[in-house]
Structures are given as structure tokens and as C-alpha cells.
């Protein structure tokens, strides 16, 4: 069963709720998921950064078939951008989802690198179809 890494900002309830909605959608397609705030938790202070990195990246990226990244907000989270670059370097496909505005409207806030490196969808329905296409599932 394919496994999906769900990336995005995790510091507010609404950010986590959006990631959890993506998780639910993936599970409805029969996919396994890795959701960092659920599966690893949060760093309480800077001393925990190595523990979080190892759990999120070293362990979390094992056997990943796809990365889905929430791109909502004025800026993409630093961790999200790093995870997308890491996925790209490892040859793992990614899908961005930006529901608050189109990539064209948010162009100055999104990096050209992010925009050119993956498809970006605007709705959960579009995300579902893009997942099916990339992972070749019904």
C-alpha cells in the first residue's frame, strides 16, 4: 500500500485541521499516511530539534510514495519547503494544495522553484484526482 507524507505548517488548530483533512482523504483512498504532528509530536524547545528531525525525516520518509504539502498562507513553512526539496532530491513526487488563493495570485509568496517542481491544486476534489493519477489508483 502506498504511503503519503503530509507536510505543512502545524502551529495553529486550523493548520493542523487542514493536514488532518488531507490525511482523511488519503485514508479514504486506502493509503497509509505519515502526519508529523500526529506521528512524532512537537519540539518543546531547541534541544529536541534533532529528535524531531530524525523522527520526521529519517524515519518518516521511509517508504514514502508521495508528498502532499499544504501551501496556504502568506508564506510556505520552512520545514515544508525543506521537506519538498528533500522529496524532489530523492525522486519522490509531490503535490501542493493551495486553497486560499491560486498559485498565480500567490506567485510573489510562492517560490518559482516550488511552483515548477510539482502540480498545485486548489481543492480537495482536485487533490483526490491528482493522487489517483500520480499513484495510479482507482
Q: Sheet with 120-121: list strands edge to edge.
A: 32-34, 3-7, 66-70, 94-97, 120-121
Question: Residue 1 is placed in which grid cell?
Answer: 500500500
Query: Looking at residue 18, what is its pLDDT?
Result: 94
The total of structural domains in the chain comes to 1
Q: What confidence tens digit (pLDDT) does each residue in 80-131 have?
A: 999 999 999 999 999 999 998 877 777 777 788 888 899 999 999 999 999 9
**70 touches 19 (CB < 8 A):** yes
What domain range is 100 assigned to?
3-135
Q: What confidence tens digit (pLDDT) does each residue in 2-54 have?
A: 999 999 998 888 898 999 999 999 999 999 999 998 988 888 889 988 888 88
Query: Looking at residue 110, what is its pLDDT?
Result: 79
pTM: 0.93
Domain CATH code at residue 121: 3.40.50.450
* DSSP-assigned states of every residue in 18-55: HHHHHHHHHHHTT-EEE-HHHHT---SSGGGHHHHHII
Stated as kind and residue range, the H or E segment containing 5 is: strand 3-7
Amino acid at each position: 500500500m502506498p504511503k503519503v507524507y503530509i507536510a505543512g505548517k502545524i502551529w495553529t488548530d486550523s493548520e493542523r485541521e487542514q493536514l488532518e483533512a488531507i490525511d482523511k482523504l488519503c485514508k479514504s483512498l486506502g493509503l497509509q499516511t505519515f502526519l508529523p504532528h500526529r506521528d512524532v509530536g512537537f519540539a518543546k524547545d531547541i534541544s529536541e530539534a534533532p529528535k524531531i528531525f530524525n523522527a520526521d525525516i529519517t524515519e518518516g520518509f521511509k517508504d514514502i510514495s508521495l508528498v502532499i504539502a499544504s501551501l496556504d498562507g502568506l508564506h510556505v513553512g520552512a520545514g515544508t519547503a525543506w521537506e519538498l526539496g528533500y522529496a524532489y532530491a530523492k525522486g519522490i513526487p509531490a503535490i501542493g494544495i493551495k486553497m486560499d488563493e491560486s498559485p498565480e495570485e500567490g506567485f510573489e509568496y510562492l517560490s518559482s522553484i516550488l511552483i515548477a517542481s510539482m502540480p498545485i491544486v486548489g481543492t480537495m476534489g482536485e487533490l483526490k484526482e491528482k493522487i489517483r493519477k500520480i499513484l495510479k489508483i482507482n
